[in-house]
């Protein structure tokens, strides 16, 4: 029997035990990279043994209006609301509401309405969660025990019938054993909306155990190839097979992307979030038992890097993760008074040039020309190595041009995409430029935006604009259903193409 575990409330911003942190009214953590959340006993979504089987009366007018809206919603929205109630309203008995929805879904299927991917996702999640496999309470009377068994069995049968019908209709195959509780094939998901795909992938990730969630995350786990993807991939393969020029272009693109993804992860991880042996080595120097080679390396690189790490850590961790976006992923400051507090702290505790740079870059949210030049300098050696390696293997001279173009685009992507992630859908519709709106509708920005929201809540996801290295190094944490519902509440999930087919 399985249960869905729920996580304790996640902090909306990383904070510090700095002497000035209490001025902003926030709790404190250790300086440097955000620590892993302390493990806590999992709270299971359980059904009270003697809970009423009828929906609870709602006296709150907002909840009543919300229920009325859901009653008029589309089948997909109705299914999402059922999932939200199970995942988010952990302290309420939602079995009666799920039972009513299952009966409604079964009637619709019997009437000939085709099931949706959202409905299939909700049914699969409920059955996998064990919501209606609640252990029996020995203190229950025989009549109460019989009623609970009857109720749970009836709902499970309804859900099983709905699942079998939706699997049969969506896939054209007969459901077989545990196969029916697995993810839908890519050929089915390809026809669904991008929002439905995102929720479907999240429904199969653990809730309440970040370590298990990390272990289950895969780079291409929620990727569903579309027609345009297949055209590009096929064209690249044909070019690599039948053309020397195409072979160099494809090989160079793959190599350069991989190098930049790894570089981005290392920079973000060890410079912006310094911690562990590397950060300690850079900031404090080698130990007493260090050899001559290690001391020499630190003398050449460590001292220069230590200053840059200190400046980057102050701008990124203290300002971006600690002093701004404290209440919401999309709201930099609570009000003008909070911004004035941050300005005062910058003037008091930061060097004047760093304080001015932080303000100029919108409180460490974006990169201006100077920041982009610094980022470009970090990939210049790798780019030169790629060019020399290509020349050694006989690459044509013109390959230098696309290589340098990608190298120049790398810091631009890092500096200009990050602010887009922190803009809510409502704000974007009201004031965003056409370029920003177009970027937000791409799957690439959608994936990166969700990953960056997770980065603000977990220890992981250090790739901002070049996904890949996080998964390779075991630092990728993809969102589960609880995370998605929190994103939706902050109005950051449905932008970036999540609603589009």
Question: Which 3 state secondary structure label does DSSP give 342?
Answer: helix
Q: Which helix (H) or strand (E) holds 44?
A: strand 43-44
Average of per-residue pLDDT values in the chain: 80
Give the mean pLDDT of 426-453: 86
Beta strands 43-44; 5-6: pairing state: antiparallel
pLDDT at position 299 is 67
Q: Is the pLDDT of residue 36 over 60?
A: no
Instruction: List the alpha helices (DSSP H) in 314-399.
Output: 336-349, 352-360, 369-392
User: What's the Rg (C-alpha) of the chain?
Assistant: 26
User: pTM score, two decimals?
Assistant: 0.81
pLDDT at position 16 is 30
pLDDT at position 298 is 65
How far is residue 302's CA from residue 361's CA, in Å, rounded to a whole number?
A: 26
Give the chain's count of helices (H) and strands (E): 22, 2
pLDDT at position 492 is 85
Least Cα distance to 123 among 179, 166, 175, 71 occurs for 166
The CB-based long-range contact list for 252-255 (8 Å cut-off, 24+ gap) reads 252/386, 252/390, 252/395, 252/399, 252/402, 252/403, 253/402, 253/406, 255/386
Which residues have C-beta within 8 Å of that of residue 199, sequence separation ≥ 6?
80, 83, 118, 121, 481, 484
């Amino acid at each position: 029997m399985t249960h869905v575990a729920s996580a304790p409330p996640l902090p909306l911003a990383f904070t510090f035990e700095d002497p000035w942190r209490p001025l902003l009214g926030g709790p404190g953590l250790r300086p440097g990279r955000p620590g892993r959340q302390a493990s806590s006993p999992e709270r299971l979504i359980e059904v009270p043994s003697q809970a009423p089987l009828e929906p609870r009366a709602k006296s709150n007018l907002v909840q009543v209006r919300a229920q009325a809206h859901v009653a008029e919603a589309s089948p997909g929205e109705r299914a999402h609301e059922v999932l939200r109630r199970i995942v988010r309203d952990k302290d309420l008995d939602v079995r009666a509401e799920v039972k009513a929805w299952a009966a409604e879904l079964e009637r619709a299927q019997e009437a000939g309405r085709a099931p949706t991917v959202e409905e299939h996702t909700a049914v699969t999640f409920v059955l996998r969660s064990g919501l209606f496999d609640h252990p029996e309470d020995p203190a229950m009377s025989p009549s109460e025990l019989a009623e609970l068994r009857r109720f749970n069995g009836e709902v499970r049968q309804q859900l099983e019938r709905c699942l079998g019908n939706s699997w049969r209709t969506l896939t054209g195959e007969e459901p077989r054993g545990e196969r029916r509780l697995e993810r839908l094939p890519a050929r089915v998901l390809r026809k669904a909306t991008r929002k439905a795909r995102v929720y479907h992938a999240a429904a199969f990730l653990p809730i309440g155990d970040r370590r298990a969630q990390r272990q289950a995350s895969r780079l291409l786990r929620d990727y569903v190839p579309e027609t345009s993807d297949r055209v590009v991939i096929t064209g690249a393969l044909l070019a690599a097979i039948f053309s020397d020029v195409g072979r160099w272009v494809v090989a160079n693109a793959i190599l350069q992307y991989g190098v930049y993804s790894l570089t981005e992860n290392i920079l973000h991880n060890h410079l912006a979030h310094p911690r562990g042996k590397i950060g300690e080595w850079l900031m404090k120097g080698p130990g007493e038992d260090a050899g001559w080679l290690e001391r020499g390396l630190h003398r050449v690189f460590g001292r220069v890097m230590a200053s840059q790490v200190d400046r980057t850590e102050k701008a990124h961790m203290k300002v971006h993760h600690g002093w701004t976006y404290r209440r919401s992923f999309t709201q930099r400051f609570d009000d003008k008074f909070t911004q004035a507090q941050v300005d005062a702290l910058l003037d008091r505790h930061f060097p004047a040039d760093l304080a001015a740079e932080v303000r100029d870059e919108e409180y460490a949210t974006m990169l201006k020309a100077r920041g982009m030049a610094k980022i470009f300098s970090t990939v210049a050696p790798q780019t030169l190595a790629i060019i020399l390696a290509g020349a050694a293997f006989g690459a044509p001279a013109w390959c230098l041009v696309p290589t340098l173009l990608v190298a120049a685009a790398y810091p631009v992507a890092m500096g200009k995409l990050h602010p887009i992630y922190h803009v809510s859908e409502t704000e974007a519709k009201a004031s965003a430029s056409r370029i920003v709106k177009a970027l937000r509708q791409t799957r690439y920005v959608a994936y990166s935006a969700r990953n960056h929201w997770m980065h603000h809540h977990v220890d992981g996801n250090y790739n901002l604009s070049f996904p890949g290295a996080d998964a390779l190094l075991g630092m990728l944490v993809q969102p589960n259903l609880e995370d998605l519902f929190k994103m939706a509440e902050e109005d950051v999930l449905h932008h970036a193409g999540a609603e589009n087919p």
